[in-house]
């Protein structure tokens, strides 16, 4: 299996762009898939035709436009690196067009469904459920990414200022306000956390784990825990994911008249265009407001 500088490329992405481990693994898979498809003997053999053929092959194999675009983006970044290192004379992927992505609206839970989900986790006295409940509250209160949530340090919350310090994509830091209810939930949880760790045992993580190599709960474990909570709450388990909780946070804030720029900052979006997709979701509350306030809703005398 040819490598063609993938290891060096990934080292650069980690060091200079702060790419997360999951992102690096995805880059490795996507670039290696392209290299194996072309079966070139030397890095200088790659051509624009190879890249176009790769994209076409992915489409014929029924990969979604979103997946094809992601793989092409990885290949582009790889060739940018090789070009910067003077391993190739130009970037053969530079002018290859990405397939048009299907624009789907974010899925979200209602405010009542969020409440049911948290209450289902709270109904159990054991530490796993207590941890799941407070993680749900904090994720929904702050719109956290799952990677941010599971790796929160113990000292991330400023209780006096009612704020949480987050390290997001590319190790960029941001401060997000925290609702009092979520702060109270975290404060109460700390007693269970200390008992879970036992006397004298320390952990730098807010949500520690005794079995994961990282020392904190994993994404997969949290994913499983919220699926269990969904079943107990009577919600379809396929509707409950970390992404859906984050979407719910943004959607509910906008429905309660929080401005788009503020939501953008709390979500950690660099481009406000990423946040604007939430404005396409019309809530029942907005529908009722239009029906009651619009001039045509009033009876003509």
Q: 165: helix, coil or strand?
A: strand
| 291-301 per-position pLDDT tens digit | 666 566 555 44
> Of the listed 243, 261, 288, 289, which one is catalytic?
243
Whether 264 and 272 have beta carbons less than 8 Å apart is answered as yes
87 HSE (CA, 13 A, CB side): 18
Residue 99 has a pLDDT of: 74
Q: Is 189 exposed, middle or buried (0-12, 13-18, 19+ CB in 10 A)?
A: buried
> Of the listed 28, 71, 130, 145, which one is catalytic?
145
Residue 256 bears catalytic tag: no
Structural domains in the chain, CATH included, are 6-84 (1.10.150), 111-284 (1.10.443.10)
Secondary structure letter of residue 295 according to DSSP:
G
Task: Tell me the residue ranges of DSSP E strands in 70-195.
Answer: 157-158, 163-167, 173-177
Instruction: Give φ, ψ of 177 to 5 degrees.
Output: -70, 150
> Of the listed 169, 174, 227, 265, which one is catalytic?
169
Of 279, 212, 240, 286, the residue nearest 108 (C-alpha): 240
Q: Cα(134)–Cα(136) distance, rounded to whole angstroms? A: 5
> Of the listed 27, 78, 189, 278, which one is catalytic?
278
Residue 243 bears catalytic tag: yes
Residue 76 bears catalytic tag: no
Low-confidence ranges of the chain (pLDDT < 50): 1, 300-301
Task: Tell me the residue ranges of DSSP E strands in the chain.
Answer: 157-158, 163-167, 173-177
158 strand-pairing partners: 163
Residue 101 has a pLDDT of: 62
Q: What is the CA radius of gyration of the chain?
A: 23
Residue 128 bears catalytic tag: no
Residue 208 has a pLDDT of: 95
Whether 136 and 118 have beta carbons less than 8 Å apart is answered as yes
> Of the listed 131, 246, 247, 252, which one is catalytic?
246
Residue 301 has a pLDDT of: 43
Rounded to the nearest angstrom, the gap between the alpha carbon of residue 229 and the centroid of all alpha carbons in its chain is 20
Q: Following CA atoms 69, 71, 73, 77 in sequence, which dihedral angle do they give, to the nearest 10 degrees?
A: -170
- Which region holds residue 143: left if phi is over 0, alpha if psi is between -120 and 50, else beta? left
| 251-284 per-position pLDDT tens digit | 899 888 888 889 999 998 888 878 877 776 655 5
Q: Cα(292)–Cα(127) distance, rounded to whole angstroms? A: 47
| Helical residues (DSSP H) of 61-202, grouped into ranges | 65-84, 111-122, 127-142, 146-150, 180-197
């Amino acid at each position: 299996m040819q490598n063609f500088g993938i290891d060096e490329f990934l080292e650069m992405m980690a060091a200079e762009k702060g790419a997360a481990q999951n992102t690096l693994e995805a880059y490795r898979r996507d670039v290696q898939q392209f290299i194996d498809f072309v079966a070139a003997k030397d890095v200088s053999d790659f051509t624009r035709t190879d890249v176009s053929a790769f994209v076409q092959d992915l489409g014929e194999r029924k990969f979604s436009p979103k997946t094809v675009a992601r793989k092409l983006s990885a290949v582009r970044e790889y060739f940018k690196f090789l070009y910067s290192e003077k391993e190739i004379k130009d970037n053969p992927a530079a002018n290859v067009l990405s397939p048009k992505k299907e624009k789907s609206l974010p899925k979200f839970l209602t405010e009542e469904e969020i409440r049911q989900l948290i209450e289902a986790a709270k109904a159990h006295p054991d530490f796993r459920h207590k941890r799941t409940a407070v993680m749900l509250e904090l994720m929904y209160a702050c719109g956290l990414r799952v990677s941010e949530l599971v790796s929160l340090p113990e000292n991330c919350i400023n209780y006096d200022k009612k704020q949480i310090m987050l390290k997001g994509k590319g190790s960029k830091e941001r401060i997000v306000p925290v609702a009092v209810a979520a702060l109270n939930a975290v404060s109460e949880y700390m007693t269970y956390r200390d008992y879970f760790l036992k006397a004298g045992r320390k952990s730098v993580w807010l949500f520690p784990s005794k079995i994961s190599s990282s020392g904190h709960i994993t994404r997969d474990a949290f994913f499983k825990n919220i699926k269990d909570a969904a079943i107990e709450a009577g919600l379809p388990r396929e509707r409950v994911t970390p992404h859906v909780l984050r979407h719910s946070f943004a959607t509910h804030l906008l429905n309660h008249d929080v401005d788009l720029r503020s939501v953008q900052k709390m979500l950690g979006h660099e481009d406000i265009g990423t946040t604007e997709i939430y404005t396409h979701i019309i809530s029942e509350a907005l529908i009722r407001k239009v029906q009651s306030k619009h001039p045509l809703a009033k009876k003509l005398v």
